[in-house]
Structure 1
């Protein structure tokens, strides 16, 4: 009998060693990673909340390709230059850029040509030395004024109101993907809390059909891969006694006929991973842990329910 107990202990130890690389400390749904998609906001950092004062961790896995779309939105890294960025900006013609100065110079020359056509000569004629030198003086004064005004307007066009060099040619800043903010209701927040609890329960029961009804196909695929990996190692993760503590909306927006909502949620739970014989590999069935994550939900406007679209780790 003693020999059998030693064999069981040795077997449990071998299982623990073989599962050492599994990272079971974060074996809950999502595996402690940042996974999923947030539409055009996937590669932009969610706005901070009172319970997530730091930036969320970028996506470790996502079906959304990382592109420079959404330029100017708060992201995790500087986006790649947009096509044509930094190239010389289009420079309109002089009359378009300076319509008032063009009219002034044109009026000055037009007055001289009108004098020639009317028989009075350029600037009323030059019948004597005094008139000639007076004409030259007028030309010099008016020419100097024109040069001064042109220089002043040219400098203003190349500098920002604060005197710093302008970023001519930079793409305009706007909402990523043309998204528009939306307002949520109390029913929406209740749905988020219910999904948090139901997804944890379906996860512990290894009920993939239930998970597929509460998550996008992308998230369902991640859950399936994670559960399959645990099963192939002879392990099982059980999350129980889930208690929602606090939530805070990070952002909610609409893209086409889809509405997204990213919510920071803090909850406690008992998170334990066992082997095929029920021996605890990691975690505790008695000591609860507290987790803060950002969950993104999506739904089709006017039809369907909220479903999970992404999980991101906070801090």
Structure 2
């Protein structure tokens, strides 16, 4: 009897751990070895803590920054305004919905209640898995509904006004007052596409000197750390055959003597990690894959564009 109770408690503990770890596992599964490591890094000036507007290329919400030197409330930066799904204005209803479902599931597991009467048998374990799946589905549906509801509140819907290559410019710019709207010209879009290829090539060649000419010091510091981590594992990440498939301007604005532009880009590339000694494939593939990210570019007055941030979608 005691053995059965201990086994029952062990299964309960494992179920709780899995239910708490599941969102982290889902988030981590999307990370890649390409430049930026598949995470959101960098700064967007005063809008670092505001999500870029949705576009047809990236209709979802960009992820908040995992790595940034910006601080909420510091000079020139506003308080966080939407840095992620659960921090968006008006997100209390969805936070409460998720917390309610998660709390109900955990309490059901711990006290033998819940949708399938606890973990007393094999059928209850399957019931738990189904319950967790239903929670994820409900939350995703709620996120989708929230996104559709607020899409019209953001500037930057793509409208195809003659931008070059695969880019489509936006009809409006900016989120809020205090920053002058910025109009981009075809050469700006050409620069964004060129930087996409040159930055990937410099990363693949582990050319820190070249990266310093293409990105801000903050982004170069992240790239340097990632390259050092690869070297410590005796690995090298190679990206090649980078091709822009579609791009949209999310927003462009001016802060003091600097211009900013956030663009959603869907591109294909071969992303593979190989062993430095043997040359054997460690991760990735020789087959091209597609990636959608939001890149923010910074242009100091009198200078050219440089990469300021990469955000996952």
Q: If the TM-score is normalised by the length of the shorter chain, which range does it land in?
A: 0.5 to 0.7
C-alpha change, 1:24 and 1:227, in structure 2 (3 Å) is farther
Contact 1:40 1:177 (C-alpha < 8 Å) held by counterparts: no
TM-score, normalised to structure 2, is 0.59
Taking only aligned residues, the RMSD between alpha carbons, in angstroms, comes to: 2.3
Per-residue displacement from partner, 1:265-284 (whole Å, max 9, x unpaired)?
Answer: 01001100011210100011
Which of 78, 96, 99 is equivalent to 1:70? 78
Partner Cα distance (1:275, 1:177) in 2: 50
C-alpha change, 1:279 and 1:72, in structure 2 (3 Å) is closer
**2:306 aligned partner:** 307
**1:281 aligned partner:** 282
Q: Relative contact order (C-alpha < 8 Å, sep 6+): which is higher?
A: 1
C-alpha change, 1:283 and 1:40, in structure 2 (3 Å) is same
Unaligned runs of 5+ in 1: 1-21, 80-173
Contact 2:202 2:211 (C-alpha < 8 Å) held by counterparts: yes
Contact 1:29 1:223 (C-alpha < 8 Å) held by counterparts: yes
Q: How does 1:20-99 map to 2 (within 5 A)?
A: 26-67=32-73, 70=78, 74-76=82-84, 77=87
Per-residue displacement from partner, 1:187-237 (whole Å, max 9, x unpaired)?
Answer: 000000000000001111111000010000000000000000000110000
How many residues align structurally? 197
Offset of residue 179 of structure 1: 1.8
Matched, 1:237 2:237: yes
**Secondary structure of the equivalent of 1:242?**
strand
**2:167 aligned partner:** none
Partner Cα distance (2:80, 2:238) in 1: 42
C-alpha change, 1:288 and 1:280, in structure 2 (3 Å) is same
Offset of residue 178 of structure 1: 2.4
**Secondary structure of the equivalent of 2:47?**
coil
Contact 2:39 2:312 (C-alpha < 8 Å) held by counterparts: yes
Contact 1:219 1:309 (C-alpha < 8 Å) held by counterparts: yes
Offset of residue 64 of structure 1: 0.5
C-alpha change, 1:197 and 1:268, in structure 2 (3 Å) is same
Offset of residue 72 of structure 1: 9.1
Offset of residue 51 of structure 1: 1.2
**1:291 aligned partner:** 291
Contact 1:24 1:282 (C-alpha < 8 Å) held by counterparts: no
Contact 1:36 1:311 (C-alpha < 8 Å) held by counterparts: yes
Contact 1:40 1:176 (C-alpha < 8 Å) held by counterparts: no
TM-score, normalised to structure 1, is 0.59
C-alpha change, 1:177 and 1:281, in structure 2 (3 Å) is farther
Contact 1:296 1:308 (C-alpha < 8 Å) held by counterparts: yes
Contact 2:57 2:248 (C-alpha < 8 Å) held by counterparts: yes
**1:248 aligned partner:** 248
Unaligned runs of 5+ in 2: 1-27, 90-173
**1:186 aligned partner:** 186
C-alpha change, 1:187 and 1:274, in structure 2 (3 Å) is same
Give structure 1 regions of 4+ aligned residues with deviation exceeding 2 angstroms: 22-25, 66-76, 174-178
